[in-house]
Chains A and B, each alone.
Chain A
Amino acid sequence: MMPEIGHFALIIAFCLTLLLATVPAWGAWRGNAVAMALAPTLAVGVLVFVGISFGCLASAFLQDDFSVALVASHSNTLLPPMYKFAAVWGNHEGSLVLWALILAMWTAAVALFSPQLPLLVLSRVLSVMGAIGIGFLSFSLVTSNPFARLLPNTPVEGGDLNPLLQDPGLIIHPPLLYMGYVGFSVAFAFAIAALLGGRLDASWARWSRPWTNVAWGFLSLGIMLGSWWAYYELGWGGWWFWDPVENASFMPWLAGTALIHSLAATDKRGLFKSWTVLLAIFAFSLSLLGTFLVRSGVLTSVHAFATDPARGMFILVFLALVVGGSLTLYALRAPAVSSRVTFGWASRESLLLVNNVVFLVATLTVLFGTLFPLIVDGLGMGKVSVGPPYFNAVFVPLMALLVPFMGIGPVSRWKHDDVSRWRSELVVPALAAVVCGVTFPLLHAPYNIWVALAVLMSAWLVLGLVQDVWRRLRNASSAARGLARLTPGYCGMLIAHLGFAACVTGVVATSQYSAERDLKMSPGNTQTLAGYDFRFVEVVKVRGPNFAADEARFEVSRDGVVVANMSPQKRRYLATGSVMTEAAIDPGLFRDIYVAMGEPIGSDGAWAMRLHYKPLVRWMWLGAIFMAVGAFTSVLDKRYRRQRGAVYAGDEATLHGA
């Protein structure tokens, strides 16, 4: 019964979404206030019904209802309850319902938390989001029905959730990622609404900034979690592979970074209005492109869902309509003449443009690299592969190019600034950064020039920010007053940029200083890696809720002092018989130690073991968390909350005139 209710609720949600996409938009076109005012109600209605649908699907999983085909293929009675819940989105059909749910949540949020928005704008924005919802709900209902039943031959037991997914990471990684991707639809909707309205001023940027920052923050967290999850789950210490699916999430992030900075310029100075609109369209288009790449089978990936070219066709058509339509609208409606607002060569505006240039080139490079095998194959020129060696070689220099400008940014002034002022303000941090860059790598033999460069760049960013904060506090009458004067916007920037610096340091340190050994070890052996002694104590048999495992016990010490006890496992999952390695990690702020079990060698208790030493690897993920926190902090700024009841003179006339 429940699955049918869920299915029915999804259909109702689809109908409501159809209304949401059409009625308020028509109302905005005709100036019909009643039609426009329906938008928030419809948005909430969609959320309610998608929520019910999702709830029914989740309860089918939690109750082991194997008559639902999805539950039968992706779940199992032995699965712990939290993984039964996460299994809802551990597959193509369920993840689409999650997409639709999160889209409905963002739509309702915009509907409910935008009191300052003129109804004319709000109705258009919500209609655009509804139009996107039509795509996903119809995709789900038409090609990927999650509620398909296996009647009358209901299996007694399900297949299993892929053991790789049986991990807390699955519970949060996709939802966070979707919060990010889908969140960019808000900026997209605002941009389209601005184009539809024909009045492309800076207000759309003011309104969409908080939404975009929050979406970007979530996406940062989602990507970070994916990287961390791969690191501890897969057993070989990797954390980023430039896999097409990973790139599918990274491209919106890169474009999103350009977007949040461009929005700042448009908001503050009314500049680059149509460029920012284009960026908003671009970022969301990349989200949709990502959906296509992951589900169509066009590119090979370990992460891809079960692929089906027919589904791919559906998404491609949707993509063509949404992106093609929005770019046509852009071409027709965006102002052909640029604004008369001016700024000098040395100014915050030009630094923000540098940011845009770097991130845009980065996005396009990743896009081209990801699609290159497809292009070459399509032209009949054979099969090539593009992987980490290529991406690392081109991406790292781009980021390096960005950093010098990034250090000047926070200190720069709008419109007109002076290079000599920059020089005098930043000479101390610059010199200190050089000193750091030269000296810190001496702590770790052999001397590594890449680490030196990375430290120099991170120190440049950090010290520049520290100095700026200190100046502001010093100029205030008291420290407390000074701190209070630091706006959430500024603090957000500060935290996010610090996070970026941490990330850069972590990435380079780990890439350069990691050590790894694959060894044959028997109980009683001790091996050394990077100054740590790993003593293999024993192997015991353990039992989990749905697996049986061999657990190896290690005692790790440094200079004779025990620093960690580690227990990697080799698990055999009872439902499918598949065997997985569960690595043991001793986390630390400055280093991770990692032990993974291979296979038994011979019959005298020897095992193949992989030992890793990974310095500063956590800085990468902590940096990403900081970036997200910075983004969330920036929206606390009171200017986003202040504008209740602001009236748009032009719209009043239109509203009453109809």
Chain B
Amino acid sequence: MKAITLLVTVMLVISAQPALTLIETYDFSNPELEVRYQNLTEELRCPKCQNQNIADSNAPIAQDLRRLLHQQLEEGASNDEILDYMVARYGEFVRYRPSFGGASIVLWMAPALLLLAAAGVLLITLRSKSKSNSDGVASLSAEEQLKLESLLNKAEQDS
């Protein structure tokens, strides 16, 4: 049973192997569309590949999505409309730039929060370090002073 599942999985995967580098030559009516196309193909994820965007993937589904993207851009859809269209069919999984809603808001806020927390710790550390400085250094006794000098002399000889 397991063997059959494995075999079938392998076959499913093989039918999507990046064996061919498919470079489609789409014509765009306007160079700005081509730029948007390049950006969007890098933002959309190929639904069945091992972590590739649709720009880099050779899977049939990726080709279909690229064609669809080209079509929609030529029809005048905005970036948001196109992304919503894709998400409605394939789920949030298909966006490499997580949306700002739902759980992903945590993701977007995390770096800033971490930075604030770390900076806070930094400031507290700096303050405590510079404050105790004003306590002054205890002075050395005469014996300690001699010992210090001999050690310093020895160090100089070594270097």
Q: Do A and B bind each other?
A: yes
Closest A-chain residue to B55, C-beta based? Answer: A236
Closest A-chain residue to B117, C-beta based? Answer: A361
CB distance from A422 to the nearest CB of B (A): 16
B42 touches A389 (CB 8 A): yes
A353 touches B132 (CB 8 A): no
Contacts of B121 in A (CB 8 A): 357
Contacts of B128 in A (CB 8 A): 338
CB distance from A369 to the nearest CB of B (A): 7
Closest B-chain residue to A372, C-beta based? Answer: B107
A518 touches B122 (CB 8 A): no
With A390-B98, A599-B22, A610-B23 already in contact, the answer to whether A361 and B118 are too (CB < 8 A) is yes
Closest A-chain residue to B92, C-beta based? Answer: A384
- Kindly supply a per-residue 1/0 record for chain A positions 564-592, scoring 1 wherever the CB is within 8 Å of any chain B CB and 0 otherwise: 00000010000000111100000000000
With A384-B92, A386-B96 already in contact, the answer to whether A343 and B25 are too (CB < 8 A) is no
Question: Which of A384, A518, A519, A579 touches B93 (beta carbons < 8 Å)?
Answer: A384
With A236-B56, A518-B25 already in contact, the answer to whether A343 and B50 are too (CB < 8 A) is no
Q: Answer whether residue B15 sits at the interface, using C-beta atoms and an 8 A cutoff.
A: no
Contacts of A344 in B (CB 8 A): 129-130, 133
- Kindly supply a per-residue 1/0 record for chain A positions 363-390, scoring 1 wherever the CB is within 8 Å of any chain B CB and 0 otherwise: 0110011001000100101111111111
B110 touches A385 (CB 8 A): no
- Kindly supply a per-residue 1/0 record for chain B positions 116-127, scoring 1 wherever the CB is within 8 Å of any chain A CB and 0 otherwise: 001101100110
Q: Answer whether residue A149 sits at the interface, using C-beta atoms and an 8 A cutoff.
A: no
Q: Answer whether residue A235 sits at the interface, using C-beta atoms and an 8 A cutoff.
A: yes
A304 touches B50 (CB 8 A): yes
B25 touches A581 (CB 8 A): no
B119 touches A357 (CB 8 A): yes
Closest B-chain residue to A578, C-beta based? Answer: B19
Q: Is the interface of A mostly helix, strand, loop or mixed?
A: mixed
Q: How far is the CA of A369 from the CA of B114 in the complex (A)?
A: 13
Q: Answer whether residue B94 sits at the interface, using C-beta atoms and an 8 A cutoff.
A: yes
Closest B-chain residue to A363, C-beta based? Answer: B114
Question: Which of B20, B24, B50, B96 touches A389 (beta carbons < 8 Å)?
Answer: B96
With A238-B56, A353-B122, A390-B96 already in contact, the answer to whether A301 and B50 are too (CB < 8 A) is yes
A345 touches B126 (CB 8 A): yes
With A364-B114, A389-B96 already in contact, the answer to whether A235 and B50 are too (CB < 8 A) is no
Q: Answer whether residue A609 sits at the interface, using C-beta atoms and an 8 A cutoff.
A: yes
Q: How far is the CA of A579 from the CA of B14 in the complex (A)?
A: 13
Q: Answer whether residue A420 sits at the interface, using C-beta atoms and an 8 A cutoff.
A: no
Question: Which of A234, A384, A610 touches B98 (beta carbons < 8 Å)?
Answer: A384
B111 touches A394 (CB 8 A): yes
B133 touches A342 (CB 8 A): yes
B23 touches A398 (CB 8 A): no
Q: Which of A360, A390, A516 has most B Cβ within 10 Å?
A: A390
Contacts of A599 in B (CB 8 A): 20-23
> Which residues of A in the span 90-107 have a Cβ within 8 Å of any Cβ on B?
none
- Kindly supply a per-residue 1/0 record for chain A positions 269-304, scoring 1 wherever the CB is within 8 Å of any chain B CB and 0 otherwise: 000000000000000000000000000000011101
Q: Answer whether residue A206 sits at the interface, using C-beta atoms and an 8 A cutoff.
A: no
B93 touches A385 (CB 8 A): yes
Q: Answer whether residue A340 sits at the interface, using C-beta atoms and an 8 A cutoff.
A: yes
Q: Which of A338, A353, A398 has most B Cβ within 10 Å?
A: A353
Q: Answer whether residue A350 sits at the interface, using C-beta atoms and an 8 A cutoff.
A: yes
> Which residues of A in the span 594-615 have a Cβ within 8 Å of any Cβ on B?
596-599, 601, 608-610
> Which residues of B in the span 17-68 have a Cβ within 8 Å of any Cβ on A?
17, 19-26, 38, 42-43, 45, 49-53, 55-56
A520 touches B103 (CB 8 A): no
B126 touches A353 (CB 8 A): yes
Q: Answer whether residue A33 sits at the interface, using C-beta atoms and an 8 A cutoff.
A: no
Contacts of B129 in A (CB 8 A): 341-344, 349
Q: How far is the CA of A129 from the CA of B10 in the complex (A)?
A: 40
Q: Answer whether residue B88 sits at the interface, using C-beta atoms and an 8 A cutoff.
A: no
Q: How far is the CA of A524 from the CA of B91 in the complex (A)?
A: 45
Question: Which of B95, B97, B122 touches A354 (beta carbons < 8 Å)?
Answer: B122
Q: Answer whether residue A243 sits at the interface, using C-beta atoms and an 8 A cutoff.
A: yes
Contacts of B98 in A (CB 8 A): 372, 384-386, 390
Q: Answer whether residue B115 sits at the interface, using C-beta atoms and an 8 A cutoff.
A: yes
Q: Answer whether residue B104 sits at the interface, using C-beta atoms and an 8 A cutoff.
A: yes
B20 touches A579 (CB 8 A): yes
Contacts of A235 in B (CB 8 A): 21
B114 touches A365 (CB 8 A): yes
Q: How far is the CA of A340 from the CA of B94 in the complex (A)?
A: 53
A387 touches B23 (CB 8 A): no
Closest A-chain residue to B25, C-beta based? Answer: A520
With A386-B107, A519-B25, A598-B23 already in contact, the answer to whether A361 and B96 are too (CB < 8 A) is no
With A244-B51, A304-B50, A360-B118 already in contact, the answer to whether A518 and B23 are too (CB < 8 A) is yes
Binding site for A on B (CB under 8 A): 17, 19-26, 38, 42-43, 45, 49-53, 55-56, 91-98, 102-104, 107-108, 110-111, 114-115, 118-119, 121-122, 125-126, 128-130, 132-133, 158
Chain A to chain B contacts (Cβ below 8 Å), 6 pairs: A343-B129, A350-B126, A353-B125, A384-B95, A384-B98, A390-B96
Binding site for B on A (CB under 8 A): 234-236, 238, 241, 243-244, 300-302, 304, 338, 340-345, 349-350, 353-354, 357, 360-361, 364-365, 368-369, 372, 376, 379, 381-390, 393-394, 398, 516, 518-520, 570, 578-581, 596-599, 601, 608-610, 642
Sorted from nearest, which 6 A-B pairs have the closest CB atoms? A598-B23, A387-B96, A389-B97, A342-B133, A581-B21, A608-B23
